Amino acid sequence: MKVLEGLSPYEAACFGIKEAKDEDPFFILDANDLHRKVNVWKENLPRVKPFYAVKCNNDPEVLKILVHLGIGFDVASVVELKTMLNLGADPSNIVFAHTCKLPSHVLIAKSLKVLKMTFDNIDELYKIKELYPEAHLLLRLSCDGKDDHKLGKKFGTDPIYCTGLLAVAKELELNVVGVSFHVGSRVQDGASYFDAIGVSHWVIEQARSMGFKPHILDIGGGFPQITGDLFTDEAKVISEGLEKFFPNDGPFGPMEIIAEPGRYIVGTALSLVTMVSSRRLVRSFDGKVQEAMYYLNDGIYGSFSFLRYEERDFKNYIVIRKTSKDYNVSDKQVPTILWGPTCDSNDLVAKDMGMPELHIGDFVYWPAIGDYTIAAQSTFNGLAKAFIRYVITQY
């Protein structure tokens, strides 16, 4: 990994292509973008402390910068928990946000003094009572919004069952310190947060009536990758919801409000460089290319693993021609299919794309591809993973 100063991400990509001694894909991390995202968050959601969802991108270079920026971290396993502590995160800045934890993970969290953790079922309460009764518990609600990827089937309890869970927690003398929810991934409607904040207010009222002293509200993730109108609109609605249901001078007093952004923090901070390793052209009788199929050195078992569960718009790619001096290049758009490098016939990156004709040895630069890429890679077929090769700072 090399630090570059004074280059844009695209310029760093061109530099990396010239310098490369192998044919592996690689990432460029824009440290400036991480700083910018955290600052924009603080400007728009001053009451809400971000706890970055480590599962979104667990690269150590990303995590080191975020620790330096002083934000919190949402972890889902002991490996993530230990990683953050080893990088300097304070245990108080970590929430173990998995409602169904392995017993050994609960014990390790106890030994490392990580107090905050979530639950959504009775059996988890009995487990925690036996293994870590001092834990600070957040009751995870099921509050799915209108989003691309709903989470409520696997995680969270319907609010109508909350009083029963709270009663069991009270009987077990456990410490319920707050409520959490997650309205889903890539939320397009700020009203989902507003409604969930309102439901959380009701649940916290029930908890207080039972003698608990909840002081934490975790509003989860689902925030957009880009800091545009969608994010600012959602932030405004969230702030309105917090002011209505949890004003600092209200009956609950000042609440600690946290969130679990993932793709918002890291999505636009990384760019990917892939190479065309092979191609197949379908031509008409007069020799014109009717369809092009290009085989990249990265695919759905690598950095494009997110394509197995969500679609993305790849219109912002940039072609970088390493071999353009050797042939006549046309920028005319050709119907294109992009394949990954493995022997799996389902390793499809994109179809029905319009791209200029490419040659073996050309590169494709993919901006804003930092979320759910590095963290979900595999070495299927023995192919290399893409790693962060360059970190760029001021430019």
Catalytic positions, written as ranges: 343
Q: Which two tokens stand for residue 49?
A: 């402390």
- What is the gyration radius of the CA atoms in the chain, in angstroms? 24
Q: Which two tokens stand for residue 327?
A: 């042939």
Report how far residue 16's alpha carbon sits from residue 26's, in angstroms, rounded to the nearest whole number: 9
Q: Which residues neighbour 111 within 8 Å (Cβ) at sequence distance 6 or greater?
A: none
- Residue 317, Cα to own-chain centre: how many angstroms? 21
Q: Which two tokens stand for residue 34?
A: 């991480």
- Residue 49, Cα to own-chain centre: how many angstroms? 16
Residue 94: Cβ-neighbour burial (10 angstroms; 0-12, 13-18, 19+) = buried
Q: Which residues neighbour 174 within 8 Å (Cβ) at sequence distance 6 or greater?
A: 125, 128, 129, 133, 135, 137
The owner of tokens 């993932």 is: 262
Report how far residue 224's alpha carbon sits from residue 234's, in angstroms, rounded to the nearest whole number: 9
Report how far residue 17's alpha carbon sits from residue 362's, in angstroms, rounded to the nearest whole number: 10
The owner of tokens 């946000």 is: 97
